[in-house]
Amino acid sequence: MRQFACDSILIENGKLLLIKRAYDPFAGQWALPGGRIDDNETAEDCLVREMKEETNLEVEPVKFTGLYSNPNRDPRGVIAAAYLVKRVSGDPKAGDDAAEVAWFELNHLPLLCADHKKIVEDALIEQK
């Protein structure tokens, strides 16, 4: 059975916020903050909740940037909706299933898990 998740793209001053995943799949790899939707939760509520849990940041969605449904993108069969977000409040601090949280220059990103590089590239196109 396929699952649904939401991923957040937060860019500030030419830097992208990423988390290092604490658990499999993709443990130890850099990723966009996000996670699976709960019952009775909208996609937007999911991404706000996941950002708070993983990064300690309060955000609000700015723009939907894409839906990623390749069955091989994640071994759990996760379909992801991605959104550009803006910070409302908070300072980055790793939590939940994020081992670390860090800012990276857009032109010096680390290797990203799954299809997160494509998600970021699509979001950058949307920003222009």
CATH number at residue 104: 3.90.79.10
9 touches 82 (CB < 8 A): yes
Q: What is the pLDDT along the chain (128 residues), one digit of tens a residue?
A: 789 999 999 999 999 999 999 988 888 999 999 999 999 999 999 999 999 999 999 999 999 999 999 988 888 889 999 999 999 999 999 998 899 999 999 999 999 999 999 999 999 987 76
Catalytic residue among 100, 105, 121, 126: 100
- Domains in the chain, number: 1
Domain that holds residue 35: 3-127
State yes or no: is 105 an active-site residue. no
